[in-house]
Amino acid sequence: MTSYRPDALIASDISAYLALHQSKSLLRFITCGSVDDGKSTLIGRLLYDSKQIFEDQLSALESDSKRVGTQGQEIDFALLVDGLAAEREQGITIDVAYRFFATEKRKFIVADTPGHEQYTRNMVTGASTADLAVILIDARKGVLTQTKRHSYLAHLLGIRHIVLAVNKMDLVGYDSAVFEQIVADYRAFADSIGIADFTPIPLSGFKGDNITALSENTPWFTGPALIDHLESVELDVDKDRAKPFRLPVQWVNRPNLDFRGFAGLIASGSVRPGDRVRILPSGRTTSVARIVGMGGDRQEAVAGESVTITLADEVDCSRGDVIAAADAPPQAADQFQATIVWMDQTELLPGRGYWLKLGTQTVTATIQPPKHLVCINTMAELSAKTLQLNDIGVAEVYTDRAIVFEPYMDSHDLGGFILIDKATNATVAAGMLNFALRRAQNVHWQAVEINREAHASQKGQQPRLLWFTGLSGSGKSTIANLVEKRLHALGKHSFLLDGDNIRHGLNKDLGFTDQDRVENIRRVAEVAKLMTDAGLIVLTAFISPFRAERELARAMMPEGEFFEIFIDTPLETAEARDVKGLYKKARAGEIAHFTGITSPFEAPLAPEIRVDTTRETPEEAAERIVETIMGTWSPVI
């Protein structure tokens, strides 16, 4: 076997060597397909045949192949990629493995993605930045469910170039009939999901057939070898440069008082000094004064380049805004239809607030119950109330403010997003914006002259939202009622929203599943926000078991007007009271999803006020709350 030999130019002229490689185009591609189709072996073979293996790597590969390889005494190329111990022990890929290699014509970054369904989310991660997908099929097995899943995801993520690599042809005697049948089967599926074109190649990753050169074992195949195709395929960056100019602002560069620039990676198009641009979502127009790059001022910058732009006018522009061509700007909206790939063990809770990150923009988003799920096997649309691990669904997405976007099929940078759980900071989903909902364009805030401040001034008070939370039987309603009595005695205008009372009217259609609890609190928060807009001091007494929803309510309020009041009562104390007999029924299995018994309660981490009911009477707690909120003493009623 031949190990890596450095280019002679490195020793003679390193600058020339670096310049040569810098001018090469870069292709990002993934290998995917069902488990055991030979993805890692193929990449290992590509690295070996392109002489990217160092001597120490080659020695270790030979040793590891004898110890944990799956090819007997022969070299197991998959071990070049499968780096995790668990991968080597099982002979499978679990995580996404990235490898870099280069040929005389092009540079490559290849992602080896897992084949198991449970690791579909890892495949999505690898595919999100790929220009091309190599879909592997075991010639002995044909088109499998996971082959279809990965093909659908690759198409969904906008990968235009598909290579159908029919692998392990050596195990079927290089039979052309087997190859043609697999290609026909795959073409029928590809047509059904909208893949218009793909390049089929018969190969053997283990033997090296049709990888770097056409093989004598397949004289009936006249197409390109795999590496030839990878070197010649058209890159999307060329098309991006022909699109209208877009620069998502990543950073406002202000090194001194005389310079204010806006830095970011150009997503599409090109720009020159003097070009008219529009700042979105504000819509303000101006022109480009300078383009500053690593080497100083430039006369032009194009898609794929990171630059700093200065503007001719002092305009409000910050991280998350988009600088775009003035005559062809992208859209801005706060309601969308999106396709979502759920990537977390915890299911989607419709109505819960998640962080939505799109480019340099980060907003709070709520996801509505899915319109449907996509069945990969049949492409049927299935009804569902939520999304679970590896589900692919279509749903409406609402954001708390307008974001700048383009449909994903037009722009991956301004159309692709991720969802992040606010409590755990885990990435729970990847999504693609399909279009803005028409109502998002037709519904606008109506300007009113009697605003929030006017209502508060009329009542002579500062609006507040006092959010009481705690277990059932903790004393929330009792203490909240005592607080309102004291506020009333002080001449304050208030209103108490109680959990049981709300469920007789506004929320009578909701049950007690986690999803219904989320929606219950969302509605209450919206009502409470409207009441504070009217200048009222609003008290809410709800279990509100999840931190995410309490934080959603907090985010709706102006700074300093939300007070989380944790009525901290031990479960055994609350259960001993059991005024309504609910704990007894829950213990008997008569009530499902009961907080503290069969459903979790996420205690506040840093409430404004904490009431320990084992040390403080309701009257004492109410007095302390009023003094804290109002900053004044109130008489005991």
pLDDT in tens, 610-623: 999 889 999 999 99
Q: Are strands 537-541 and 494-498 parallel, antiparallel or unpaired?
A: parallel
User: Is 0.75 topped by the overall pTM?
Assistant: no
Q: What is the 8-class DSSP label of residue 510?
A: -
What band does 62 get if pLDDT is binned at 50, 70 and 90? Answer: low
The pLDDT of residue 14 is 75
Beta strands in 281-424 (DSSP E): 284-293, 296-297, 301-302, 306-311, 322-325, 331-342, 353-358, 361-367, 372-374, 381-382, 392-405, 416-420
CA distance 487 to 140: 78
Question: From the candidates 128, 411, 477, 544, which is the catalytic residue?
Answer: 544
Token digits for 598?
A: 């069969």
* Catalytic residue list contains 544: yes
The pLDDT of residue 117 is 58
Q: Which of 136-140, 189-193, 233-237, 396-400 has the lowest mean pLDDT?
A: 233-237
- Top mean-pLDDT range of 114-123, 206-215, 587-596: 206-215
Contact 126, 111 (CB under 8 A): yes
Q: Which of 69-73, 91-95, 387-391, 458-462 has the lowest mean pLDDT?
A: 91-95
CA distance 284 to 380: 45
Name the β-bridge partners of 31: 112, 134
CA distance 234 to 242: 14
SS (H, E, C) 399-425: EEEEEEECCCCCCHHHHEEEEECCCCC
CA distance 406 to 336: 11
- Summarised one tens digit per residue, pLDDT across range 546-594 is 888 888 899 889 988 999 999 998 888 888 887 778 888 888 888 877 8
CA distance 192 to 608: 56
CA distance 465 to 246: 41
